[in-house]
Amino acid sequence: MTLLSKSLLLVGLALVVRASTRAMQQESPSVPAVVLDLLAAFAVSLAGALLGAGPFRPIHLAQDASLRCKDISSSRPDFAVFSHRGPLLRSRQL
């Protein structure tokens, strides 16, 4: 991360703290002012995060899929059906 991105993130955090203290200190806070402060904090923090992230790398899905075997790529462990003896054990206990 560069110095610019770190400083933008720090300024964004300071703006969030400023907006929250402004909202807590006033008896009836001006909602548009607080919302504008938070939107400004979001924009500054987003700019800092994007500048610090670096360049995006391209996705090479076709190359990755060709290296895997068919069994691994078609495996779906979330939808696995387990056949166990739980119902049989319950009927024997009764």
- In eight-state DSSP terms, residue 78 is G
The kind and range of the H/E element at 54 are: none
Which pLDDT does position 12 carry in this prediction? 94
Which pLDDT does position 53 carry in this prediction? 86
Is 7's pLDDT higher than 80? Answer: yes
Of residues 66 and 22, more confidently modeled = 22
Residue with tokens 């495996």: 75
CA distances from 31 to 11, 13, 14, 53 (A): 21, 19, 19, 32
Query: Measuring CA to CA, which residue among 43, 46, 23, 41 is closest to residue 33?
Result: 23
pLDDT digits (tens, 9 = 90+) for 41-86: 999 999 999 998 878 777 766 665 666 665 555 666 666 666 777 7
What gap in Å lies between CA 94 and CA 51, rounded to an integer?
Answer: 66
Q: Can you give the residue ranges of every domain in the chain?
A: 3-74
Which pLDDT does position 67 carry in this prediction? 66
